[in-house]
């Protein structure tokens, strides 16, 4: 398939496209899978918000696995107790940003805006909440729709809001119309990007990124392609022997230009020789065969270990780049404002001089 060719279609028209051949019986089966996956996610969300953990028996396999921020819990009963202990003193509200479902694999990926209130730290009269983001990757049993594995990533960055009435944040970007790629196309595009990063080939790697790239490093930040390239260059200057193993990848048949994947990201610090490893979660939107949207979640310090930060280092450089760009923009705005003020002051002085001449002429 020619990945550079634009083949757009509106999402609501997806099922009417003969070219994409997801029709009739196969199409109906996928719809059933999607509905059951959506129900599972909504039920799990409701259980967390309402603290109704008894229903976990209906949602999880007996030997299911939870990995929350690199802390692993095995077994349905232990997962229930673990989650109950965490949220016992918390009020939590989840607002879905995006939901991707791989009906064939029965994998689900979702991203949330989170609002939390910690009663162990806040008084009852304090209405403020912490607003941030989190992501889930869920693998369901092939036999039914119970959870086999549940990954949770939590963005450590957050802001304070006054109350639940505060409006939800704007993402500061707009997804492109749906563009068609096969499961193999998407896998190849992602693998190509990862391999070029491993080779530290900055030019080749940056060619995998759209000129209109939107990258969200931590919560509440958006960066462009130039920041991303600067971040990669600084990373290559500080780290070597990078290896990226893609361990899971999701392909959503209804959003075939979107993908999410899990990666094991390991590298070695050039200065210290220390090796570090992360398990990261990535959302990508693909446009004309290139990465156009890139959102990453990472957990770089497992419980019981103090490993070298790896992918986190790269993300932090993007944040620093954003701050520099914001500072430059502020300076440009300040200079522009000063120029306008000086120009206005000059014109006012010229007008005043003209008025004085006119007055002097009248007196003569």
Indicate if the pLDDT at residue 308 is higher than 90.
no
Residues 126 and 33 in one domain: yes
Strand partners, 294: 215, 284
The arithmetic mean of pLDDT across residues 52-66, rounded, is: 93
Residues 78 and 132 in one domain: yes
> How is residue 6 written in tokens?
């634009």
Residues 38 and 133 in one domain: yes
* Residue 17: pLDDT band with limits 50, 70, 90: very low
Residues 151 and 200 in one domain: no
What is the tally of structural domains in the chain? 2
For residue 45, the Cα-to-chain-centroid distance in whole angstroms is: 19
Domain ranges, residue 49: 24-161
Q: Is 166 exposed, middle or buried (0-12, 13-18, 19+ CB in 10 A)?
A: middle
Is 214 inside any structural domain? Answer: yes
Indicate if the pLDDT at residue 112 is higher than 70.
yes
pLDDT (0 to 100) of residue 224: 84
Is 299 inside any structural domain? Answer: yes
Residue 304: C-alpha distances to residues 70, 71, 72, 122, 300 (Å): 10, 10, 12, 29, 12
Cβ-contact 206, 218 below 8 angstroms: no
Residues 204 and 293 in one domain: yes
Residues 122 and 210 in one domain: no
DSSP class of 173: S
* Residue 279: pLDDT band with limits 50, 70, 90: confident
- Residue after which a domain boundary falls, among 128, 161, 194: 161
319: domain CATH number is: 3.10.450.50
Is 4 inside any structural domain? Answer: no
Distance separating alpha carbons of residues 3 and 20, to the nearest angstrom: 15
pLDDT (0 to 100) of residue 2: 39
Cβ-contact 293, 283 below 8 angstroms: yes
> How is residue 30 written in tokens?
């996928």
For residue 307, the Cα-to-chain-centroid distance in whole angstroms is: 23
What is the tens place of the pLDDT at every residue in 163-203? 888 888 887 788 888 999 999 999 999 999 999 999 999 99
Residues 137 and 106 in one domain: yes
Residues 28 and 147 in one domain: yes
């Amino acid at each position: 398939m020619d990945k550079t060719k634009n083949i757009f279609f509106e999402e609501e028209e997806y099922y009417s496209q003969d070219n994409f051949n997801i029709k009739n019986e196969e199409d109906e089966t996928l719809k059933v899978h999607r509905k059951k996956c959506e129900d599972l996610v909504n039920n799990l969300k409701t259980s967390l918000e309402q603290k109704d953990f008894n229903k976990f028996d209906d949602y999880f396999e007996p030997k299911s696995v939870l990995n929350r921020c690199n802390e692993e819990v095995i077994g349905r009963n232990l997962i229930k107790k673990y989650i109950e202990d965490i949220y016992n003193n918390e009020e939590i509200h989840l607002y879905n940003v995006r939901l991707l479902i791989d009906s064939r694999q029965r994998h689900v990926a979702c991203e949330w805006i989170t609002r939390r209130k910690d009663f162990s730290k806040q008084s009852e009269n304090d209405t403020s909440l912490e607003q941030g983001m989190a992501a889930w990757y869920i693998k369901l049993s092939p036999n039914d729709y119970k959870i086999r594995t549940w990954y949770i990533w939590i963005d450590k960055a957050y802001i304070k809001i006054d109350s639940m009435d505060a409006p939800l944040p704007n993402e500061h970007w707009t997804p492109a119309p749906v563009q068609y790629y096969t499961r193999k196309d998407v896998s190849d595009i992602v693998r190509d990007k990862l391999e070029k990063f491993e080779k530290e080939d900055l030019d080749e790697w940056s060619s995998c990124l759209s000129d209109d790239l939107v990258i969200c490093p931590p919560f509440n930040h958006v960066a462009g392609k130039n920041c991303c390239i600067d971040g990669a260059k600084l990373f290559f200057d500080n780290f070597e022997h990078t290896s990226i193993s893609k361990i899971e990848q999701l392909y959503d048949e209804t959003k075939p230009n979107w993908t999410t994947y899990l990666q094991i990201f390991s590298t070695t610090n050039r200065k210290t020789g220390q090796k570090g490893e992360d398990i990261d979660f990535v959302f990508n939107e693909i446009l004309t065969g290139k990465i156009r949207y890139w959102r990453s979640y990472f957990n770089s310090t497992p419980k019981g270990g103090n490993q070298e930060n790896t992918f986190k280092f790269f993300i932090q450089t993007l944040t620093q780049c954003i701050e520099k760009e914001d500072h430059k923009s502020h300076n440009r705005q300040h200079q522009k404002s000063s120029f306008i003020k000086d120009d206005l002051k000059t014109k006012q002085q010229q007008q005043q001089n003209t008025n004085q001449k006119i007055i002097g002429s009248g007196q003569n």
